[in-house]
Structure 1
Amino acid sequence: MMHITMDRNKYIILIVIISAISLAYYVPHYGLIYDGGLYASLGYSLFSGNGYFFNGYPGDVPPILPIFLSLFIRIFGENGIFLVVPLFSIMNTVIIFLILEKKISLEMSFLGSLYVFFSPIIFYDSINVIREIPMLTLVMASYLIFLRKEDSYKKHVLLGILVGSAFLTKSVGFVYTFPIWAYYIFNQNKKVGISIASSVIFVLPWAIWSYSHFQTPFVSHSAYLLPKIGSNITTFFTRTLPLFLISSFIPIVPISIMGIKKSEKIFLLFGFLIIIPALLWPVQEPRYLLAAYFLIVYLALMYLKDKRKDITLIFMIITVLFQFGTTASILDTHVVSYGLLDDAGIWLRENTDPNSKIMTQSFRQIHYFSHRKTYQIPQDPSLLQRTLEVNQIEYVVIDSYEKTTPQYAREFFEELDPLVTFKDIGGVVNIYKSPYYNSSKVDN
């Protein structure tokens, strides 16, 4: 019987194959979620040479993800946006394997990396155009470089660029990587100045651009939530944390706790800085704890590495299979596809005048696929007619996905006949002609 000896490179290849096949199966089934439409539209604006703008306004999110989206649009066309985050997810899985194998056996590191990859929230975010997975990948890459034994200037320059990139993907990326700088400062490593300078230089162009358009060096479309920090802590303990723990495979959690004593202090600080922002942020979602999946498996394997190998191996195989099964079940039964918004946007692009305007609650996604200017539906019913008339909006899209769509708008347009309807078992999207479009043209 042929015996295959596994080494680091073979495990990496196996990780890439498993993760690529898994993502390839699910990615085509899902469209753009709300924020994804913004990032994709900014990427398309860069690709088309129109600058960093959405709907005629400067982009108010850090640029790393839109830059990658722009690159993939150029290479693969408009659907190339759906490849970016999955590729980051594959890289993240490989990076986690490389971090784990510095302390743990290759087979356990392999299973540990798959545990993270198949964790439900990680996997779901990997098939959507959102910033969490790219940010997490750059954060983990920063820690991988930090763990290199060499202390060269090249290492510190690269580290600074990675930290800056994590920050320019999502601002919390700086918080997650802060323990690295804290370690160097505490140990009086003067080369930390190289890392800091590299980050500053890398971030500076964005700071200048942001200040020139928003009068603040680091604009964020979530800044309006800052005054509410700490206002939703109860929900963290009653919903966010329980959902995260349930999705972590409960038996591994107490083992992780027992592994705390064997962990490097830098990873304990990393864990603390994962929990604090998630605890204080007013919008409570389990995805804000994504980075903690790595720590759970890292701490668990640090505890288990001195235990019986056969028992540890069986436990980790069961853990990975449980995560895989849970994720597949959730995606097949509870997750809604937004693909009909893609279809609606493409229909509008192919069947309407390029200068036509559209109103919809899913204005970010429709904007990307239609290449038309879009407007959000006003929450005040008294503003609907005026908004449609003043802006000469010709089409209105009502979908079943956006729960913030005002009920009055749903009821109003249900009385009209749609131009076209897109429907599947997960939802429905109707496109209407504005009843006020002709009058608005006359009035103007």
Structure 2
Amino acid sequence: TDGAAVRRCLTCGADLCLFCCQAHRRQKKTASHVLTELENTEDCSQAGTPLFCPSHPTEELRLFCEQCDQPVCRDCIVDRHRHHTYDFTSNVIHRHGNTLRELLKNTQQHVGTLEGVLSQIDDMGSAIRSHVEAVASEICLFASGYVKAIEEHRDQLLKQLDDLKVQKENLLHLQKVQLQQLLLDMRTSVEYTQHLLMSGSDLEILITKGVVASRLAKLNTVAYNTHPSVDDRIQFSPRERAGQCCGYEVFGVILNKVVDPARCTLHGEDLHSARQNQLTGFTLLCNDTTGERIGRGGEAVRVTIIHKDKRDCAVKPTVCDNGDGTYHISYSPDEPGLYAVCVYVKGQHVQRSPFTLTVKNKFREHQGVFHCCTFCSSGGQKAARCACGGTMPGGYQGCGHGHKGHPGCPHWSCCGQVKESSECLGGPPSNTKQRSLLRTVVL
């Protein structure tokens, strides 16, 4: 009461002068109390207001039950908290306050850490947004370029289609002009001939007969097509690759090439010959009416291989569509002999069809020895008999090097072939012929 209050003890709920504040700090029980300036207590006026017990409204909460960990009044200690450990709030505040301060300190550290993490998240969010904006720009640039490429490809296809229309119309117009001229010539000749026969005299008819007949005969021999020969089949294939346009791969092509069986060709080394029970084949190359190669597959190709002497003996070929305008035909004949091979495209023969196929007997392997001579291969035995039936001058039974009727190089003993990978042509020649030849040899 002797001095003005300068601070307030939030623990005791009392206003203190400067002397009392110093005494408050010196006493052990109040040293840990929280003091604050009076101007800072305007917002905390409720904190200094005495709190009353909810169970005993007339009693102020001045005690603290350690067992129940809650503030109590005197009546509570007498009643429900009789055997519990308790003390005044001013005596226990320093212990519980220190615990709260330690927890507060740890929590403040987590707050700082979380603020740093949140700052990193914000930075990462900004980086993601920047990256997304950059990728969005790339997508827009790609899409605009792709749209431009598609539009340019569309314009190219439309121009190509228009060029095809003009080309086909020109061909039709040319045929029309030619037919009109031919019709005009025929009408003129018909009218003149009719007028000559109806109004001309016998002498006039006889005089002009040669010229008129020659003219009519020439007009009758002029060949013309009764159907337009311009193909009007124009197709659009949206899924076929069309290459690059403005750096982008585009799809969709106009198909106007039509296969012409008369211009399709056959290729293969074994086109006219084959071996019994040996797989062989040839290739069919499809071209259009101008002779250019058809760059796609899907044509109706049919192949028949029939024995000329045995009609019931036919070979079933396999046709493989390579997808690029070529077709590989493979087959394996069971019987030797001559076969008639027919290759059809759209029901019509191709070039060189039909053709004759000669099937030889099964490849015969050599049964003898591929050696230099019998004398050498036998290790010098004079009594070794040569498989070819020849004898060597001097009385040896084995044939030697380079004498007449025998090659002067390694050969097969069974047939005399000098090529090791060749086919065996049969048994040895007759001994009589060889022996007669050997008599004339001069070494």
TM-score class, shorter: under 0.3
- Give the TM-score normalised by the residue count of structure 1: 0.17
- Give the TM-score normalised by the residue count of structure 2: 0.17
When Rg is computed on C-alpha atoms for both structures, the one with the higher figure is: 2
Tell which has more relative contact order, 1 or 2 (C-alpha 8 A, sep 6+): 1
Q: Which has the higher helix share?
A: 1
Q: Which has the higher strand share?
A: 2
